[in-house]
Amino acid sequence: MDYQNWGPRGISAPAKAELPEVPVERGMVLEDVQSGWVGAVTRVEKSGGMHVVALEDRRGKSRSFKLGFGFLLDGRAIRLMPPAPRAAAAGPAAGRTASGSVRVAGQRAQVAKASRIWVEGKHDAELVEKVWGDDLRVEGIVVEPLHGIDDLAAAVAAFKPGPGRRLGVLVDHLVPDSKESRIADAVMASPGAAGNVLIVGHPYVDVWQAIRPAVLGIDTWPAVPRGQDWKTGILKAFGWPHATKEDIGLGWQKLLGAVRTYADLEASLLGRVEEVIDFLTVP
């Protein structure tokens, strides 16, 4: 590999919302914009609820940086994401939790803190618990389902967020100019929200879609005709029972059973959940 031409490029980055999300890979050459450090990825680790990447420069020196914004790849500003998913059949590596964190031997769950993670429904909560549950118990953070966000403003006001009582909210289908984005904007403009509330979202109609299709043995999620209930349409396309709420619940359990680690989920969800955990746990 040619290290000779590595160095700061002084390229201005586009707005964060426009940056492409790129999974980190061993050997990838990156530049940290803030420090100007340039190096090849030698390892990626997870500690304290966040991913850290080690970059080794041409002199063999290494520095570690938190994944996220502030990197250049081939001169292009990117948002550096957790590693791309590997084989779906593999469970957590020895000594690791399902989220990829180092498992803390003998660690008891902390008493729940005042801060909370809110998600849109029971299925969202179950998915977050399955992948990040071990981490959240160590941190003392509880996940609670909202069952929709139409009344989010009132719920946040009742929660009374503030220093030491933060709130992270994960929203389905949070895309520009949507009902969800307008609700989120109104909540963030309310008293006490700034600095104490973080609302993030993924682009999927439902959290089911955050499971990588390959994990389920399909190329892509089925298209559901407009006007048809999405979950019902998905189960129908799979040829599974879909007529009752019980059928939908059982179908979800099949899908959830296919998820073993963070590697089975789309990067768009991984990044948002990690962002919320960082917000609630990092001073």
Residue whose tokens read 């959940």: 273
Position 267 pLDDT exceeds 90: no
For domain 116-208+259-281, give its CATH number from 1.25.40, 3.40.50, 1.20.1420, 3.40.1710: 3.40.50
DSSP string, 141-167: -EEEE-S-STTHHHHHHHH--BTTB-E
Position 236 pLDDT exceeds 60: yes
Position 90 pLDDT exceeds 70: no
What would the two tokens of residue 246 be? 């019980």
Q: Do 224 and 233 contact (CB within 8 A), yes or no?
A: yes
Provide the 8-state DSSP code for 181. H
Position 4 pLDDT exceeds 50: no
Of 267 and 89, the structure prediction assigns the larger pLDDT to: 267
Residue whose tokens read 């059982």: 250
- Between CA 134 and CA 117, with CA 205 as vertex, the angle to 5 degrees is 30
Sign of CA dihedral 173, 175, 180, 184: positive
Of 195 and 148, the structure prediction assigns the larger pLDDT to: 195
Domain ranges of the chain: 16-81, 116-208+259-281, 212-257
Q: Given this model, what pLDDT does residue 49 score? A: 62
Position 42 pLDDT exceeds 90: no
Indicate the fold that domain 16-81 takes in CATH.
SH3 type barrels. (2.30.30)
* Mean pLDDT score, 260-265: 87
Position 63 pLDDT exceeds 80: yes
Q: 143: which strand partners?
A: 117
Q: Given this model, what pLDDT does residue 263 score? A: 85
Distance CA 188, CA 229 (A): 30
Amino acid at 160: K
Q: Given this model, what pLDDT does residue 283 score? A: 72
What would the two tokens of residue 73 be? 């790849």
Chain centroid to Cα 156, Å, comes to 22
Of 4 and 194, the structure prediction assigns the larger pLDDT to: 194
Amino acid at 270: L
Position 114 pLDDT exceeds 60: yes
Distance CA 42, CA 165 (A): 37
* Orientation of helix 122-139 relative to helix 245-257, angle to 10°: 40
Position 48 pLDDT exceeds 70: no
* Mean pLDDT score, 180-205: 92
Work out the pLDDT band at 14, boundaries 50, 70, 90: very low
Length reported for the chain = 283
Work out the pLDDT band at 56, boundaries 50, 70, 90: confident
pLDDT digits (tens, 9 = 90+) for 189-199: 998 899 999 99
Neighbours of 260 (CB within 10 A): 17
Report the candidate in 265, 266, 262, 261 with the shortest Cα–Cα distance to residue 91: 261
Q: Given this model, what pLDDT does residue 276 score? A: 92
